[in-house]
Each structure stands twice: as structure tokens, then as C-alpha cells.
Amino acid sequence: MHKSGVLETGLKGFLITCNNEQRCVKESYNLLNEFADDLFGTETKNAEKPSCSTEVDIEEELNKEIENIKSNKRRFQQVCTKVKGILFINTTISDPTSLVTSIFENVLETGQKKGRFILKMIPIVITCKATQNDIRKHLDEYLQEFTKDDTNKKLSYKTESKIRHNSNISTSHVIWYVRESVEKYAPDWTASLTEPELMISVYVLRSICCIGLLKNYVAYRKYNLSEVAIANSKDNSEDPVTTQRLKSNTAIPVGSEENTESC
């Protein structure tokens, strides 16, 4: 299991909910790498051979190799959230949202289950401090960039907020911050409580805020892989074991306040 550090500001990656963390981590790595290989090519280490044998070139290559070792980061790396049932996998790829979209589109098309232990898989575009100023700042910056795409100029949206182990911020605060950013940088957006085209997902885990902008929220069953697979099974038959697990997962509040510290 590759784990490095704790959840901090300035990351992007994947927030994953589960009830069996150890097995879910391995399953998540396998799934993410499978689809990342298709989209971005296989993960390779930086190891270039010297072009010539002069002392200067050899020294340069040695320095490059040292820097590569120091800065070597895996494409996917688990970081500790200290919240039971919630994993975060940091990534070096530029667009985690496109990777998650490709996974869900594949499940929609094939109806094949892509995991036994992953519940929700939510792409996170930025992490920041869970403070009013920082959340507002990063929402403003990302919405400005997001709405440069003409397809994102007019959307219906809704805000989803989950808060774990932080008594300094509330869901009403988060909704307020989002609404203010939308009014400034996406004035043509409209709120929708039933079938929004975009879900603005804000997870506060202790002192860190994780922000994701999620399209196809209804079609992707709130970004729940197992539920999408069952709903789109080609033979319309449900695995009774999987169905029972989904029911039990629904009954267990992921990251509830009781016994929620984990890593």
C-alpha cells in the first residue's frame, strides 16, 4: 500500500468512501491505473540515458537523476484523512475529473461492476484550508476558469456539503460561499434541487476542504460505482450479495462522528 503524508492544501485527486479501507485502497489503485493507462499512457519513471560521455554531460545526468529521486511522485498516492470510511488519493494527473468520468461512462455502457469495496468516487479539483477566506478564494478562482468553457456558461447547479470533525464551519456557510461565487462568476447559472446539471461538492475533513464540480450527478447515482453498475446491468439481474452490501452501506453513515478517526 502506497501512503504518503496527510491530507493538506494544494492537492487534487479522488475522495473515496468505503467500509473496508485496506481493501478499498488496493482496489482504487487498480481501477485508477487501469483507466489512466488508457487515457494518459502507462506510468513511467524518469530515466534518460546520457547522450554522450563527456564529464559535463555525466555530471548533468547525475544531477538530473538525483532531482528525479527527490521529486519522484507516484501518479496515485494515498494520503491520510484521519476520517474513518473516507480515503483520499492524491494524483499528479492534470484532470482527475476526466478520469472519473471515463470510469463511470464505462460502467454505464457495460453495466460491469468495477469494484467490491469502493462506494463513492468523487474527483477533487482542489483542496484548501477549511476557512471562510480560503474556501471563497478557491471557489472564485476555479469558477472563473471553469466558466471559460462555453459549455459551462449556463448550467443548473446544486451544492452538496459534508462536514466531518470541524465545528467552525457549517453546511449553511458552505452554501452561502458557493452562492456568492456563482453570482460573481457564473451569473447565468440557476439553482436546481432535483436534477442539477452540476453538483458543487464540498467536503470538509477536519481542517481541510475538498472541492469538486460534478456533472451527470443523477446518471452517476451520486458518483456511486456499485449503484451505477446494478442500475445498468445488461442482464437486469442483481447480485444478491452486492445488493445486501449496498443496503448495509446505505445504513452506515460514512464518516459519522462515532469512531471516525482512521488512516
- Only one residue has cell 442483481, namely 238
What single DSSP character describes residue 131? S
Residue type for position 200:
I
The answer to whether the CB of 197 falls within 8 A of the CB of 158 is: no
Question: Is the pLDDT reported for residue 204 higher than 60?
Answer: yes
- What's the whole-model pTM score? 0.81
Selected residue with higher pLDDT from 51 and 134: 134
Q: How confident is the model at residue 60 (pLDDT cuts 50, 70, 90)?
A: confident
Q: What is the mean pLDDT of the chain?
A: 86
**pLDDT digit string (tens) for 99-120?**
999 999 999 999 998 989 999 9
The answer to whether the CB of 82 falls within 8 A of the CB of 6 is: yes
pLDDT of residue 239: 53
Mean pLDDT, residues 62-81: 74
pLDDT of residue 262: 65
**pLDDT digit string (tens) for 22-52?**
999 999 999 999 999 999 998 875 545 445 5
Question: Is the pLDDT reported for residue 70 higher than 80?
Answer: no
